[in-house]
């Protein structure tokens, strides 16, 4: 099934998903947040096919979420670094990580794994509508 392009959607969630909404992209960003910068390190971490990693990295660079820089050790390699736009995704990935630790860990997983990438648990941001008012999820017990 071909993915539907959502970049022109009026919904900001749909537009965000158009940029970062597949699992490989989110896992690449997780690795970038965790300090992996080189293609081979990311590929080894994820076990992702090289052609898919190449395509996802190109997309992230094209969308200014990652940048390309010369290797910090002076070698001929290049590194993928988070841009300001990419760093703005840290709370998103941290929130997904925290949700996964709370709700999706295997029963044998360590219970103390709930430390986010920044070293502390993040508080979820308040939900706001377009006009700035706070929004709460609908009460499932009330009739609409």
Which pLDDT belongs to residue 136? 58
pLDDT in tens, 15-43: 888 778 788 999 999 999 999 999 999 99
Among 62, 45, 58, 81, residue whose Cα is nearest residue 7: 62
Segments in the chain forming alpha helices (H): 12-20, 23-33, 39-46, 50-62, 84-87, 90-103
| Cβ proximity of 81 and 98 under 8 Å | no
| Longest Cα–Cα distance in the chain | 63
List pLDDT tens digits, range 58-91.
999 999 999 999 988 888 899 999 999 999 998 8
Q: Would you list the domain boundaries of the chain?
A: 22-103
C-alpha triplet 41, 47, 49: angle, nearest 5°: 100
The CATH class of 22-103 is: mainly alpha
């Amino acid at each position: 099934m071909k993915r539907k392009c959502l970049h022109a959607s009026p919904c900001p969630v749909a537009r965000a998903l158009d940029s970062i909404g597949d699992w490989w992209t989110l896992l690449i960003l997780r690795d970038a947040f965790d300090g992996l910068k080189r293609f081979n390190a990311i590929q080894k971490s994820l076990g992702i096919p090289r052609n898919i990693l190449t395509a996802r990295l190109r997309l992230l660079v094209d969308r200014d979420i990652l940048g390309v820089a010369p290797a910090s050790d002076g070698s001929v390699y290049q590194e993928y670094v988070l841009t300001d736009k990419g760093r703005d995704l840290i709370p998103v990935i941290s929130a997904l990580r925290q949700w996964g630790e709370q709700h999706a860990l295997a029963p044998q997983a360590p219970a103390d794994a709930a430390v986010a990438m920044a070293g502390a648990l993040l508080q979820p941001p308040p939900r706001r509508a377009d006009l700035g008012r706070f929004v709460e999820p609908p009460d499932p017990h009330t009739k609409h």
